[in-house]
Every structure is written in C-alpha cells, then in structure tokens.
Amino acid sequence: MSSPFETLWQQRYRDLRNQPPAIADSPVLEALLGHRSVRRYLDRPLPPGTLETLLAAAQSAASSSNLQAWSLIAVQDPQRKARLAALANDQAHIRQAPLFLVWLADFSRAQRIADNQGATLQAPAYLDSLLVGSIDAALAAQNAVVAAENLGLGTVYIGALRNDLQAVIDELQLPPLVFPVFGLCVGYPDPQQPAAIKPRLSQEVVLHRETYRPGEGEAQAIADYESAAAAFSREQGQDSPGWSRQVIDRLQGVAALHGRERIAQTLRGRGLAQR
Ligand SMILES: Cc1cc2nc3c(=O)[nH]c(=O)nc-3n(C[C@H](O)[C@H](O)[C@H](O)COP(=O)(O)O)c2cc1C
C-alpha cells in the first residue's frame, strides 16, 4: 500500500521514471506535494485572524539583506475586487474569493526612511532592486500559500494583475518605487468543483548536475509529459492544445503578453528599472 506521500508523488509526476525516494515522509512534504490552484470558491467568509496568520507566515520567509522590500494590500471590498478582476482578464475567481491579496515589491518605505534621515537612495533605480523586491514578495506570498492550504483554504496567483499595470497602480493608489508583482485569491475551495494535482515535468528534465546540460532523453521525457498533461486536461474536462504548444503560444508573440509588454515603460516612469 502506498503512503500518502507516495500517492501524492505519483499524482505529481504520473511517470514511472520518477519514483518516490525512500525518505522520511512528513506533513509538510505532503502539504507541498498536494498543492493545486483553486479557481472556484465558496461564498464563505474567512475566520477572524486568517489575514494576520497568513501575513505572519509570509513575513517569516527569508528576505534579501533583510530589507523586507515588499508590502501587501488586502482587498475585501467587493467593488474594488470587481474592478481589479476587470483589469486582470476578467477572472471570475477574483470576484468570488473573499480575500484578494496584492503582493508588492516596495522601495517606497525605504525611501521614506531615507527621507526622514536626509539620505539619498541610488540603488532602487537599478534592475537588481526590482528583482530583490519581486523575489522577496514571491517568497513571502508562497509562504502564505502554504499556510492558507494548511488552514483548509485554496489560493490562485494572478499574474494577469500586471496586464494593465497603470490602471492597477491607480486603483490601489501606489506611490512611486512600488510594483504590484501579482495578486492572490484566497478562499474556501468549492467542494463541488474540486481542483486536482497538476502533473509536472519529469525531474530529469528540470535537474542538471554540476553544469547546464539538457539530457539526451529530454525530448522523449517532454513527449511523455505531454501525454500526462493531456490526460490531466481530459480528466478536468478541458480542451488543451498540448503543453508544448501552450509554451510556444504563450511565448511566441507579443500579443500573449496582454499588455505586459508595456511594463518596462511604466516601471521606468515610477523610478524603478532605470538601469
Ligand atoms: C506568478 C503566477 C501567476 C499566475 N497567474 C495566474 C492567473 O492570472 N490566472 C490563473 O488562473 N492562474 C494563474 N496562475 C496559476 C498557474 O496557472 C498554476 O500555478 C499552474 O497552471 C500550475 O497549476 P497548479 O498551481 O494547480 O499546480 C499563476 C501562477 C503563478 C506562479
């Protein structure tokens, strides 16, 4: 009989090449391997203290130089959620989820600290600072995702929040040196429409040892993944052009950026990514 960890592993890879190693199972590993994005939510409020608990988990993530160069906006007002949903490809789950979190790379706080001390900051204008703030925000958000799933909640990231960056900046009244990295829906998953574990690429495709060297078996392993992903889509009742096709469609033309091709310009106007 398979352990819960082994079962989750098999669901994650659906691939005989990737067998679970004989390593101590743990509730944390089970929680991580059991992740799935949730796009159907119950109309049920979150218990008091949920936001603060998610935030404590988020703030417990590592932070580059402990700058803590990120902030969070919790949106619960249905009208504001609806306006943000409209800006993010009209995704219904943003309206449905009781809580919508916007994760920000934030150097405006550092700027206020510097202003108070009469100091000038040069680094926020450099591209690396945008990476620092965005990485900090992403690590924090992922900790919140794991915490939310542990509380029986579901989440889905919303990268489409960057489609119309300027409108989101205006809606959230973001000062210069602040960049909305992505949104995150949080709510109770609708048990009538459960989400499933989406398979991932075989480990041998993703893992390189010592130096970057795509293995000889890469094309075959990707073809096998294609079959597993297609089976997953069929089970979910979704039409899919195939995973490789999706990768190409998403990256081939500028149209698939849905407005995000303008981000560099908007950021430069806000004092970020100048050089
Ligand atoms: C940064 C980021 C942005 C995403 N943006 C969206 C989005 O706008 N809408 C959406 O439905 N899912 C979004 N997702 C969810 C991905 O589609 C999902 O994680 C991926 O298909 C894998 O599925 P899983 O999370 O269920 O394993 C996003 C995920 C990440 C990490």
User: What is the per-residue pLDDT for 24?
Assistant: 75
Domain match, 206 and 174 both: no
Range of the domain at 202: 4-32+197-235
Note whether residue 187 is domain-resident: yes
CA of 157 to the centre of ligand 1 (A): 5
Please tell me the distance from the alpha carbon of residue 182 to that of residue 162, in angstroms, as a whole number. 7
Domain match, 49 and 160 both: yes
Out of 157, 164, 197, 249, mutate this one to test ligand 1's pocket (max ligand atoms within 8 Å of CB): namely 157
Quote the number of domains for the chain. Answer: 2
Q: Six-digit token pair at 90?
A: 């009209």
CATH number at residue 99: 3.40.109.10
E-strand ranges in 135-260 read 154-158, 178-187
Note whether residue 91 is domain-resident: yes
Domain match, 224 and 97 both: no
User: What is the per-residue pLDDT for 15?
Assistant: 87
Place of tokens 């916007």: 102
Evaluate: CB of 95 within 6 angstroms of ligand 1.
no
User: What is the per-residue pLDDT for 216?
Assistant: 87
Q: Taking the CA atoms of the chain, what radius of gyration do you get in angstroms?
A: 20
User: What is the per-residue pLDDT for 25?
Assistant: 85
Give me the amino acid identity at 166.
Q
Domain match, 13 and 103 both: no
Domain match, 101 and 228 both: no
Domain match, 144 and 219 both: no
List the one residue out of 193, 181, 183, 264 whose CA is nearest residue 40. 193
Note whether residue 272 is domain-resident: no
Consecutive H or E run containing 75: strand 70-75
User: What is the per-residue pLDDT for 1?
Assistant: 74
Domain match, 113 and 218 both: no
Evaluate: CB of 159 within 6 angstroms of ligand 1.
yes
Nearest protein Cα to ligand 1, atom 9? 158
User: What is the per-residue pLDDT for 135?
Assistant: 98
Q: Are 138 and 64 in contact (CB under 8 A)?
A: no
Domain match, 74 and 138 both: yes
Strand partners, 70: 105
Evaluate: CB of 9 within 6 angstroms of ligand 1.
no
- Which residues of the chain have a pLDDT value below 50? none
Evaluate: CB of 157 within 6 angstroms of ligand 1.
yes
Domain match, 217 and 103 both: no
Note whether residue 45 is domain-resident: yes
Note whether residue 257 is domain-resident: no
Strand partners, 135: none
CA of 22 to the centre of ligand 1 (A): 30
Evaluate: CB of 158 within 6 angstroms of ligand 1.
yes
CA of 1 to the centre of ligand 1 (A): 32
